[in-house]
Amino acid sequence: MQKDELINELKKINDTDDYSNNIRINISQQRFEDLIEILESCKMVQLNLVNEIRSKLKIVPKSNINKRIAIDSANEIRIEKSKEKIVEAIEYLRRNNKKVTQSEVSKVSGCSVNTVRKYKEELF
């Protein structure tokens, strides 16, 4: 993002004074310091915005980032296995001329009804 674009985005945020919508960004410490420097140099950005950003800052150690990557990877595998079980259950029910309902798919697949409901639009 160019400096001008960043400034325009910050103006929008600053104008609304609504800090209730939280976002998470992953940037290096150096990029963060560069961002703060840009913010502090902009006359239109209120100092309370810079202070708000600094107060909400959470530096995540590198080991936690690697842990998060591993967790995300494991979650993706678990999700794919659940989807496969649901698809197999649906195929089984159809082959046996049984009614395909969330409850039946849950029983046959071994997944919870909530999991079946979660992927219903995608898989049914």
Q: What is the pLDDT of residues 12-39, one digit of tens each?
A: 655 555 555 666 667 777 777 887 787 7
83-111 burial, b if ≥16 CB within 10 A, otherwise e? bebbbebbeebeeeeeeeeeebbbebbeb
pLDDT of residue 77: 95
pLDDT for 13: 56
Span 30-84, pLDDT tens digits: 777 887 787 777 766 667 777 777 777 776 666 677 788 888 899 999 999 999 9
pTM value is 0.49
The answer to whether residues 100 and 93 touch, using CB atoms and an 8 Å cutoff, is yes
Burial, 116: exposed, middle or buried (Cβ in 10 Å; 0-12, 13-18, 19+)?
buried
Tell me the CB-side half-sphere exposure of residue 57, using CA atoms within 13 A: 16
